[in-house]
């Protein structure tokens, strides 16, 4: 290996491999839409927490937001992967992204008309978790269809980078926007962010499942997963 090749190889290991973004326009749109919408989700997560505390003055009420999000994630997370195995991934991704976009608009509308109901905020958080639980497996299975196998590790690294960026940048921007312009502005920006994900899903080609045995296959997939968990001694 030449002297110039060695630093180049070292940089390849240090920097993210952007090959999937360069080679696949569909993946590039999907990744960008996911990154932008994840930042928006982080903004809304902080804004909802601040709004619940403003309404109730209770840290316990803020903590219940996590419970409202966790339960749907667990329940629908078990079923989401099975659904993605039996329906058109594009339609599932588009449906769940549209649901998240619609819920962001509900938050905007609530601030416009002056509705300050903690129960409404809890319900929206729970429904957003349902949309995420359905969208994530559809999105991941799309990536496997869009890219060759040798690019999947790089795509997984880019997905991890997206999650980290959204987790760090989203709440930071959310705090700044709420502090300067209020909750309505934060929820509006989140809704705008979701349009990137909607556009990416809209431009995707149809991705029909390999298996077409419907509801029976969905139930079997979930039950197989639960049976597998039951066989693990560290979980019993």
Judge contact between 89 and 211, C-beta under 8 A: no
- Over 90: is that where the pLDDT of 79 sits? no
Judge contact between 41 and 190, C-beta under 8 A: yes
Highest mean pLDDT among 77-86, 196-205, 206-215: 196-205
Look at residue 120 and tell me if it is in a domain: yes
Cβ atoms < 10 Å from Cβ of 188: 19
Domains of the chain: total: 1
Grade residue 229 by pLDDT with cuts at 50, 70 and 90: very low
Look at residue 15 and tell me if it is in a domain: no
Look at residue 145 and tell me if it is in a domain: yes
pTM for this predicted structure: 0.81
Grade residue 231 by pLDDT with cuts at 50, 70 and 90: very low
Hey, what long-range contacts does 12-19 have (CB within 8 A, 24 or more apart)? 16/154, 16/157, 16/158, 16/161, 17/153, 17/154, 17/157, 17/158, 18/154, 18/158, 19/151, 19/154
Q: What is the CATH number of the domain that holds 56?
A: 1.20.1250.20
Look at residue 17 and tell me if it is in a domain: no
* Helix, strand, coil percentages for the chain (3-state, nearest 5): 85, 0, 15
Residue 63, classed as helix, strand or coil, is: helix
Q: Encode pLDDT of 17-31 as tens digits.
A: 899 999 999 999 999
Where is pLDDT greater, at 52 or 213? 52
What residues make up the domain containing 147?
Answer: 34-204
Query: What is the reported pLDDT for 8?
Result: 46
Distance CA 194, CA 135 (A): 13
Grade residue 211 by pLDDT with cuts at 50, 70 and 90: low
Distance CA 161, CA 158 (A): 5
Look at residue 14 and tell me if it is in a domain: no
């Amino acid at each position: 290996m030449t002297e110039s090749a060695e630093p180049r190889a070292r940089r390849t290991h240090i920097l993210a491999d952007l090959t999937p973004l360069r080679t696949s326009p569909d993946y590039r749109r999907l990744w960008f839409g996911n990154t932008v919408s994840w930042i928006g989700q982080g903004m809304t997560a902080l804004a909802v927490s601040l709004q619940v505390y403003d309404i109730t003055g209770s840290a316990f009420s803020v903590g219940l937001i996590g419970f409202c999000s966790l339960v749907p994630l667990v329940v629908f997370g078990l079923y989401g992967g099975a659904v993605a195995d039996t329906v058109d991934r594009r339609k599932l991704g588009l449906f769940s992204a549209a649901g998240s976009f619609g819920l962001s608009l509900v938050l905007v509308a609530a601030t416009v008309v002056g509705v300050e109901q903690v129960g409404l905020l809890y319900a929206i958080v729970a429904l957003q978790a349902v949309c995420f639980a359905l969208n994530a497996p559809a999105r991941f299975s799309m990536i496997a269809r869009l890219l060759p196998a040798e690019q999947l590790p790089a795509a997984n690294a880019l997905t991890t980078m997206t999650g980290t960026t959204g987790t760090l940048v989203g709440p930071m921007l959310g705090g700044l926007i709420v502090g300067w312009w209020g909750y309505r502005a934060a929820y509006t920006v989140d809704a705008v962010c979701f349009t990137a994900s909607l556009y990416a899903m809209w431009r995707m080609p149809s991705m029909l499942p390999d298996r077409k045995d419907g509801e029976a296959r969905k139930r079997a997939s979930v039950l197989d997963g639960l049976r597998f968990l039951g066989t693990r001694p560290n979980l019993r």
